[in-house]
């Protein structure tokens, strides 16, 4: 792409971003990103988050999903539940949220989470993770699928039997395979596309509930 085209694209994106009603809402409501409203829509439609839950936010930076989860679990100024946020990137603190920086596959992070959970299981796993895209379809599909598999493996390990997870994914060559893997692990699986997700975006979200290994 030429520099002139890049500049034109960047200006167009910036203009769309500044005019985006969800960006304005995020600024008004104190959320770090418009992504908070995607989770809000899913939660309000599906009854995902409730008082007393243990919630884990994978790939949490910059923190808008953790912010929303905190707001949702607050009662009279007290957090009714526990929220853990995990990311490779640093994240500015969110009040009442336990942040662990590092790769959630590594022993140090796993051990830290295990110590904090102290034998408890997780009620909801959230994942708004997305890879750095290269523009090469096959490579990007592989990266997206890999992240999806990592989040699913995490959920299988940490979720309580009746737990739920929401994960961002993208329509592409791997999508049907990804849905199949979730259906093998969970009793209830559905795709959701919140209004806050941009029309041009290929992103969608998978909502999965009740681990199949818990049957019987």
Q: Which residues of 86-120 are buried (b: 16+ CB within 10 A; e: fewer)?
A: bbeeebeebeebbbbeeebeeeebbebbeeeeeee
d(CA 45, CA 84): 23
Active-site residue, selected from the candidate residues 6, 8, 168, 180: 168
- Token output for 97: 């949220």
Distances (CA, A) of 130 to 8, 108, 119, 151, 190: 25, 23, 30, 11, 19
193 is catalytic: no
Give how far the C-alpha of residue 79 lies from the chain's centroid of Cα atoms, to the nearest Å: 20
Residues forming the active site: 168
């Amino acid at each position: 792409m030429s520099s002139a085209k890049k500049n034109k694209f960047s200006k167009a994106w910036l203009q769309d971003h500044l005019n985006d009603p969800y960006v304005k809402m995020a600024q008004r409501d104190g959320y770090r990103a418009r992504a908070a409203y995607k989770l809000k829509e899913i939660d309000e439609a599906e009854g995902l988050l409730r008082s007393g839950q243990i919630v884990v936010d994978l790939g949490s930076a910059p923190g808008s999903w953790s912010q929303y989860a905190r707001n949702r679990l607050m009662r009279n100024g007290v957090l009714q539940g526990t929220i853990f946020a995990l990311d490779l990137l640093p994240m500015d603190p969110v009040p009442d949220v336990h942040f662990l920086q590092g790769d959630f596959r590594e022993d140090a992070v796993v051990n830290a989470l295990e110590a904090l959970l102290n034998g408890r299981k997780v009620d909801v796993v959230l994942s708004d993770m997305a890879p750095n895209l290269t523009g090469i379809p096959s490579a990007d599909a592989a990266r997206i699928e890999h992240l999806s598999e990592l989040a699913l493996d995490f959920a299988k390990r940490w979720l309580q039997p009746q737990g739920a997870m929401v994960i961002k994914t993208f329509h592409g060559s791997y999508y049907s395979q990804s849905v199949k893997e979730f259906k093998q692990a969970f009793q209830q699986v559905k795709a959701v596309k919140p209004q806050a997700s941009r029309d041009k975006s290929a992103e969608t979200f998978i909502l999965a509930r009740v681990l199949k290994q818990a049957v019987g």
